[in-house]
Amino acid sequence: MASPPPCVVYSTLSLNTLTKRCRIDGRLYDVHLGKWMFYNPIRQEKYFHVRSGKIDSTARSRPTDSQLSQMDEAEFSGRYPISVWKEALATPISRRLAEIWIASHRLHAAGLGPRPGSLIVARNYKRNFRSFGPTAGLQIENARLLSPRDPVTQEEMVAAGVRPDRYLSCVRQTINGYVSDLCSVVGVVPIDAESEIEALAGQIDGLLTGNGAG
């Protein structure tokens, strides 16, 4: 990563999962819902579902809070054991956004994914009228508008320095042949990028707390 990306800061982002719309600082948008993030095609921005500074999931297989605390860690909820769900849901927004931005940058540089742009921070995030603290995300091209290519393979991703998700959904569910969805319980991450991740996550932490430059 040559230089840290710029950032766009919003005051309030309110998502309604029933109407599949979100309101950003008073303006209403239609969105495409994902289990970990949701996409605003008009603004070409993707935002995290979050809860108190950590990433969250709206997947039906997501364990409830009581299940997370009461079930044995070896028991499964969907395709993943409780221990793996706990690790995923304990991931700070800043860490996961840094991983996704760097992975997206590498994929785009190799012609395997849409181009990432600015970081996005919303100081207040609401889902279905309930507040969950700040959220974050990134600007990213709409893969549906790119010229089609042969579907990306697992080998191409690894060669670009990106590890696919555990069950390879990212290469089975490409859009126009490009890797688009990087999120899962064990999602897509950049390979050998810990120093880059830590540096970018630190920048994002500053933005989330209002101490970074927007």
Task: Give every CB contact of residue 21 below 8 A, 6+ residues apart in sequence.
Answer: 15, 28, 29, 30, 31
| pLDDT at position 91 | 98
Residue range of the domain that includes 53: 7-206
Task: Supply φ then ψ for residue 30, to 5 degrees.
Answer: -80, 145
Q: How many domains is the chain partitioned into structurally?
A: 1
92 occurs within a structural domain: yes
Taking Cα atoms as reference points, which of 173, 49, 188, 167 lies closest to residue 116?
188
Q: Which helix (H) or strand (E) holds 79?
A: none
In a domain, 211, yes or no: no
pLDDT for 3: 73
pTM for the complete prediction? 0.95
Count how many residues are written for the chain: 214
- 213 in any annotated domain: no
Nearest-CA neighbor of 204 among 122, 119, 139?
Answer: 119
Given this model, what pLDDT does residue 212 score? 60
Whether residue 114 is contained in a domain is answered as yes
Is residue 2 assigned to a domain?
Answer: no
The answer as to whether 40 is a domain residue is: yes
Q: What is the mean pLDDT of each run of 10 residues along the chain (214 residues)?
A: 83 98 98 98 98 95 96 96 97 98 98 98 96 97 97 98 97 97 97 97 92 59
Would you say residue 1 lies in a domain?
Answer: no
Residue 152 lies in a domain: yes
Contact assessment for residue 27 and residue 42, using Cβ atoms and an 8 Å cutoff: no
